[in-house]
Structure 1
Amino acid sequence: MKAQTWPARSLLGRLRPRDAEALLELGTLVAYPAQHRLIRQGDAGRHSLLVLRGSAKVIVDTERGRDVVIAVRGPGDLLGEMATLEHRPRSAHVIACAAVEARVIRSTELAEFLCRAPEACLAVARMLSERLRSADRRGIDFVVCPAPVRVVRVLVEISQHHGVSTAAGWDLGIPLSQTEIASMAGTGLSTVEKVFRKLETEGVLHRHYRRVMITDLDGLRRFGEFPAGIPY
């Protein structure tokens, strides 16, 4: 796959072709089936995963016994780099939403690559900064936004990062259940059901089993009540 075909917001999409090609030469190519646990929370961070195909969800086990979906990742994304670079235990599970093909890169390989490729190192820093902004924004949304707005904002975020343009609209790009979307929005399944029914009635989206097709992205953003002047 050529570098320019990677999603722009992914790590591979941020890199110059030369650095992307060098990163793609690292590690070992591995394939995982859907629902396979790619990374286990609490394990030692001895490697990272560079996703080539497929998608995965990032899940945290909380002290109250509830699993929380905090993010989704797709082609071109790097997984597990925080524990790898910090030499600390994994902070979350990563589970394949669909079949995943990835390169398993040892921590020493990744560190050596970043040392000799300063622009790639900067791209990783920018990627981590963007993820931190996203986490901060979602925390603020949880305090100030009603649950239906949070659900819509999760849909907008996923479509911006992973959506696939088709003749019928924007396929969300990640096969997530409504329960998982509810978890990302910090609300209950019944709220997601109500929001989806309203959005379908308004002609903003259509849904199928674990798939969502957004037919009016501008309309979806209006339901998300994004304020002017705030870089969400």
Structure 2
Amino acid sequence: MPRTFPERSVMLRQGSAGTHLLALTEGLAKVVCREPGGAVTWLAFRGPGDLLGEVSVFHGTLRTAEVVALTSCTAVVLEAERFRRFIEQRGLVMDLMRQALSRLQESDAHRTELLTLPLVTRLARALLRLVELTAPGDRPEVVRLTGLSQEEIAQATGVTRNAVISGLQLLRASGAVETARRTIVVKNMQVLRDWATTGPGAAARPLLPTPAPR
């Protein structure tokens, strides 16, 4: 059954039982891990077509991360046992494993970027990933990204909020983006891609992770 989640609401809570998962059909969400001391670690952004909470459902474990709606989100709620039967009956276990592997590769690539690439390059890549989630398969000239705070962008790029402000200033000056409160408008995709492909070894690596089979 479909369910709507207001902006900034918790869609799946860390530590809860995997009684169900969500198939995101509309909106943008973030996945974070909350440490015992209160620190928050950014893990991923998710968009339409992504499954949320499938690992705990498939393995019968407690949720190890929290999913928060960045914008108003709509998702189909899938009960755990019915989902497991559906996957097994249709022989989709390998597809699910391939998706999990793709997400691990995405995480590894992100960690490598944090260690090797300049701030503005990481920032440009993060924005391009958000564009891909917001308008998958499209080639829009202008994309409006909403619901993001500078603190969340800082978490996703592994820098301070002040560093994000400086990076956005460079992107604005180049004509790649415009910014407002919780809004980034990508105005020139090619300029943003140029920023994203600078840095040591960047040109040799894929800009965006290959979408997992669905």
Which category describes the TM-score, using the shorter chain as reference length? 0.7 to 0.9
Alignment partner of 1:187: what SS?
coil
State the match for 2:5 in structure 1. 32
* Match among 104, 109, 132 for residue 104 of structure 2: 132
Relative to 1, partners in 2 of residues 1:208 and 1:221: Cα closer, same or farther, differing over 3 Å? Answer: same
Q: Which consecutive unaligned segments of at least 5 residues does structure 1 have?
A: 1-27
State the match for 1:229 in structure 2. 204
Q: Which amino acid aligns with 2:204?
A: G
Q: Residues 56-80 of structure 1, C-alpha deviation per residue, up to 9 Å, x if partnerless? A: 2111112442112221212221100
Asked whether the 8 Å contact 1:171–1:212 carries over to 2, the reply is yes
2-structure distance, mates of 1:168, 1:44: 42
* Match among 183, 188, 212 for residue 160 of structure 2: 188
Alignment of 1:11-160 (within 5 A): 28-118=1-91, 120-160=92-132
Considering Cα pairs closer than 8 Å and 6+ residues apart, tell me whether 1 or 2 has the greater RCO: 2
Q: Kindly tell me the number of residue pairs found equivalent between the two proteins.
A: 203
2-structure distance, mates of 1:152, 1:191: 13
Answering whether residue 143 of structure 2 is matched by residue 170 of structure 1, we say yes
Alignment partner of 2:132: what SS?
helix
2-structure distance, mates of 1:107, 1:124: 14
Alignment partner of 1:71: what SS?
strand
Q: 1:33, CA displacement in angstroms?
A: 1.8
Asked whether the 8 Å contact 1:51–1:74 carries over to 2, the reply is yes
Alignment partner of 1:138: what SS?
helix
Alignment partner of 1:75: what SS?
coil
Q: Which amino acid aligns with 1:151?
A: L
Answering whether residue 192 of structure 2 is matched by residue 217 of structure 1, we say no
Q: Structure 1 vs Structure 2: percent identity of aligned residues?
A: 27
Relative to 1, partners in 2 of residues 1:144 and 1:212: Cα closer, same or farther, differing over 3 Å? Answer: same
2-structure distance, mates of 1:167, 1:149: 21
State the match for 1:7 in structure 2. none
CA RMSD in angstroms comes to 2.1
Q: 1:115, CA displacement in angstroms?
A: 1.0
TM-score when normalising by structure 1 = 0.79
2-structure distance, mates of 1:45, 1:113: 16
Asked whether the 8 Å contact 1:148–1:191 carries over to 2, the reply is no
Q: 1:39, CA displacement in angstroms?
A: 0.9
